Chains A and B, each alone.
Chain A
């Protein structure tokens, strides 16, 4: 760590990991409700657990991105952060808003919460992933603006590298597309059409820029490969991302009332979306193979390579699986979607945040080059436990999804939804057991932070 102000990232990373734990615990609650329908009912209904699970995920990833930006941008710009004080203040505001929102989900009836927070005036609640009260959404915008100002000023006054520029474009895009969450017309078709401008244009658009630039940064640091080479890769990857991903939004417009030409456009462009993810895999492995130094932080390199592979599998392969309109006609809104959602979010965004945490945390904690070998071994065990678990969770959900599609949508005598769910319960049990292994991996991950000692810089 070269600049004192980079260390504000630590707060963000610690909070991110805490919310990650909350996310997984509520995932496990839901997993049990899938097979024991009355578990915790009516205290924590499924929809409440789901809000906590998905919103905690989104918030901790945002925390991770912000932490990454506060760490990377000063170092890339070769200057101190514009205002470390602002970064700390915004952290506490963001954490308080997120904590209060989760607490409200768990203690107040959702309809009462809507009334209490004035959802009548500007209704934005009750839509998937965007369940937060309108005031929380406004809070997110305020935090995002302050954050963008802070890092924007830092970039302006310092060295302008490609990594910083791409990161900045990605983060500005994140804020801009979030604004569509305030548009909630009473016409459901319009609502859905523009809801995807937040959701799809995030994960298959601007977030990939953030992903690419974090990956590029860690690869520069750990492999010592020439910056020119890495930055050229970065530009090609993100070019392919937006060239395919923007019109790829069409894969969500097949069955929501939009005109039928989206079936062709969405299929063609989204079928090409795996390309940038495949390039990321090649990118990570090529850079590590061409490395000019042996960085002592083996764990960070493992996370970076893992991101490349798992993002391609989850987003690229499992995305392609159901993205063509004739296939999606049968798989739309089934367990296949859930399977893909899990591996893609984990492989791309969870793993890239854990990559930068793995790289930056030891340095912020004043360890010479990396954590001790012992700590790294534990961290790498947690890598394998969590990653293998998510692969199996995905496989079990895919199995459940194939049977669901067959029994409920494809066979000669389609069965009702609830009947089918009971028939495929075995897969949900297996998913839940695998989820416990995931939790064990996460506990091990956290334990690795408490193992002392360090490895010298190479």
Chain B
């Protein structure tokens, strides 16, 4: 760390490198945005999916579950629960609806959210849409 390699050289690498790689990141982001529509099937994002995502957020489901591998690791992955439940939205609705308010003794429990039928349908539709995103074949198997 001596000789020709001075502090101002180091500073120039910092500024130059940061700006260059940030701009490259922005360019790659634009490219990603162009290719996303084929992968996320946004044509299927209807009113129900939009409401479903809102319900998902308003109940903080991510605080126990992962969704596409991101979130908390306390409860099962849900991006593929639609497939795990035999491609049945009814099964998802029934599961959420049937949570006992006082929990299951001795077992990790999910709250009873007392959702309306409209909200239940919506969150199930949101999970169905999520399961159809092209996510490079993740998770490795149906157990998530």
Give the interface of A toward B (CB within 8 A).
30, 33-34, 36-38, 41-42, 45-48, 50-51, 110-111, 114-115, 119, 123, 125-128, 131, 162, 184, 186-193, 228-229, 231-233, 235-236, 238-239, 242-243, 246-247, 249, 252-260, 262-263, 265, 329-330, 332-335, 337-338, 408-410, 414-418, 421
Contacts and interface: CB of A to CB of B under 8 A. Distances in A.
Interface in B120-144: 130, 133-136, 138-144
A15 B114 CA distance: 38
Most buried by B among A115, A189, A232, A239: A189
A139 to B, nearest CB: 20
A36 B104 CA distance: 11
Chief secondary structure at chain A's binding surface: helix
A329 to B, nearest CB: 6
A262 to B, nearest CB: 8
23 contacts: A45-B109, A47-B62, A47-B74, A123-B57, A126-B56, A128-B71, A128-B72, A232-B1, A235-B14, A239-B17, A242-B18, A242-B21, A247-B25, A247-B28, A256-B135, A257-B39, A259-B39, A332-B69, A333-B73, A337-B73, A417-B77, A417-B144, A418-B76
A418 B108 contact: yes
Given A110-B60, A235-B11, A246-B22, A330 B140 contact: yes
A36 B108 CA distance: 7
B79 to A, nearest CB: 9
A191 B70 CA distance: 12
Given A188-B130, A256-B135, A417-B76, A111 B13 contact: no
Nearest to A36: B106
- Measured as residues with beta carbon below 8 angstroms from the partner, the interface class of chain B is 35 or more
Contact of A254 (B56, B104, B136): B136
B68 A255 contact: yes
B103 A42 contact: yes
Given A38-B106, A123-B57, A125-B58, 16 more contacts: A33-B74, A37-B107, A37-B108, A48-B63, A110-B60, A125-B60, A128-B72, A232-B5, A239-B17, A243-B18, A259-B35, A265-B28, A408-B144, A414-B140, A417-B77, A417-B143
B91 interface: no
Contacts of B103: 37-38, 41-42
A258 B143 contact: no
A51 B72 CA distance: 10
B65 to A, nearest CB: 9
Interface in B10-63: 10-11, 13-14, 17-18, 21-22, 24-25, 28-29, 31-32, 35-36, 39-40, 42, 45, 49-50, 53-54, 56-63
A231 B102 CA distance: 58
A150 to B, nearest CB: 25
A409 B141 contact: yes
A90 to B, nearest CB: 29
B85 interface: no
Given A126-B56, A189-B36, A333-B77, A408 B143 contact: yes
A189 B54 CA distance: 15
A46 to B, nearest CB: 5
Given A186-B45, A242-B14, A41 B58 contact: no
Given A193-B32, A333-B66, A333-B71, A414 B21 contact: no
A332 B69 CA distance: 6
B24 to A, nearest CB: 7
Given A41-B103, A330-B140, A414-B142, A236 B60 contact: no
B108 A246 contact: no
Contacts of B67: 188
A127 B72 CA distance: 11
A272 to B, nearest CB: 11
Given A111-B59, A126-B57, A246 B18 contact: yes
Given A47-B64, A128-B62, A193-B32, A257 B14 contact: no
Given A232-B6, A239-B13, A187 B141 contact: no
A416 B130 CA distance: 20
Contact of A111 (B39, B58, B106, B134): B58
Contacts of B59: 110-111, 126
Nearest to B76: A417
Contact of A186 (B1, B53, B139): B53
Given A243-B21, A246-B18, A256-B70, A47 B60 contact: yes
B99 to A, nearest CB: 10
A114 B39 contact: no
Given A190-B36, A335-B73, A239 B14 contact: yes
